[in-house]
Amino acid sequence: MTDIVTFGETMLRLSPPDYERIESTATLELRAAGAESNVAIAAHRLGAAATWFSKLPDSPLGRRVVAGLRQYGIDTEIAWSDEGRQGVYYLEYGTEPRGTNVIYDRADAAVTTTRPADVPLDAVRDARLFYTSGITPALSPTLESTVGEVLADAQDAGTTTAFDVNYRSKLWSPAEAQASLTNLFPMVDVLVTAERDARDVLDRSGGVDEIARGLAADWDFETVIVTRGADGVLALHDDEVIAQSAFDTETVDPIGTGDAFVGAFLAQRLAGKDVPTALEYGAATAALKRTIPGDMAVLTLDEVERVIESEGRGISR
């Protein structure tokens, strides 16, 4: 039995080296990159058996995505397509005041045509947990419908469902996102949201604990996790509020930090750890990810535990 199945788009990421501009660089580094595959890899690195599913073009670019993920040990279930293209994004790093910029080139990607018949539903039903994020339904009306059907099917089969709001302003407006996501929430057991998304997209106000309690009350989530960047994370589970501070880190590449947290948290919960412990492992994994180039948390459980032990951070309840 697979512990966790994740579903979403993985793109090819192209980045100039050393803070160069895209319009003047002679070199672009190529990596596979996607929220749901990042979560699968982080979960796998912390001990969970993980499978990532998507729909890809049967082309060298689509096959490059799979090769870029399998090297990290996860299983892949792919619906290969003769139609649609491979999504790409360009990441141009910049320090202040220029800042970092992302340019998406993902229109008409094969994944946007994914229907329930393309999904390995037996694998989802047999998994202990199914995960996707708000990026996936934002990509097309077809995917929005498919995500809802797969979440419902998973829940009916007794598979725990986890969902990260993961709002992207370049994909849809806050109003569009809220309308779609709240339709999906009844099929979600574990909700993850950044505090800014809870406020700006889900129209929540008040303190972070009030936000978590309000979401849990409205949608009957088993667990609500509100991430707060450098201020750490707060979770509500069994009517108990648990706060976990962030670990100190030096940032090499922040992309994928939230995915690393989610993957580690879910892996620890699947391993039978309580929510406070899972939050601690998630926070340590997120800190380590920021020291690693690329989207993926290429690390070990021993490294995560050394961070926890060396920091000696307690859990504030």
SS3 state of residue 59: coil
Q: Which has the minimum average pLDDT: 43-47, 97-101, 167-171, 309-313?
A: 309-313
Share of the chain above pLDDT 90, in %: 94
Tokens 């998406």 belong to 104
pLDDT digits (tens, 9 = 90+) for 209-246: 999 999 999 999 999 999 999 999 999 999 999 999 99
Q: What pLDDT, on a 0 to 100 scale, did the predictor assign at position 242?
A: 97
Q: What pLDDT, on a 0 to 100 scale, did the predictor assign at position 269?
A: 98
CB atoms within 10 A of CB 141: 10
Q: Are 12 and 86 in contact (CB under 8 A)?
A: yes
Strand order in the sheet with 315-316: 75-81, 50-57, 4-7, 129-133, 160-164, 190-194, 223-227, 233-237, 240-244, 315-316
pLDDT digits (tens, 9 = 90+) for 255-295: 999 999 999 999 999 999 999 999 999 999 999 999 999 89
Average pLDDT taken over every residue of the chain: 95
Which domains are delineated in the chain? 4-316 (3.40.1190.20)
Active site (annotated) includes residue 259: yes
Q: Tell me the pLDDT band of 316, cut-offs 50, 70 and 90.
A: very low
Q: What is the DSSP string of 166-214?
A: ---TTT--HHHHHHHHHHHGGG-SEEEEEHHHHHHTS---S-HHHHHHH
pLDDT digits (tens, 9 = 90+) for 127-175: 999 999 999 999 999 999 999 999 999 999 999 999 999 999 999 999 9
Phi, psi of 197 (to 5 degrees): -70, -35
User: Exactly one of 153, 259, 274, 295 is catalytic; which is it?
Assistant: 259
Tokens 């996707």 belong to 132
Nearest to 244 by CA among 167, 295, 313, 163: 313
| 95 has a pLDDT exceeding 90 | no
CB atoms within 10 A of CB 287: 22
| 314 has a pLDDT exceeding 80 | no
CB atoms within 10 A of CB 130: 28
Q: What pLDDT, on a 0 to 100 scale, did the predictor assign at position 290?
A: 95
Q: What pLDDT, on a 0 to 100 scale, did the predictor assign at position 317?
A: 44
Nearest to 132 by CA among 1, 57, 211, 34: 34
pLDDT digits (tens, 9 = 90+) for 12-36: 999 999 899 999 999 999 999 999 9
Q: What pLDDT, on a 0 to 100 scale, did the predictor assign at position 311?
A: 60
Entry field: residues in the chain: 317
Compute the distance between CA of residue 55 and CA of residue 86 in angstroms, rounded to an integer: 10
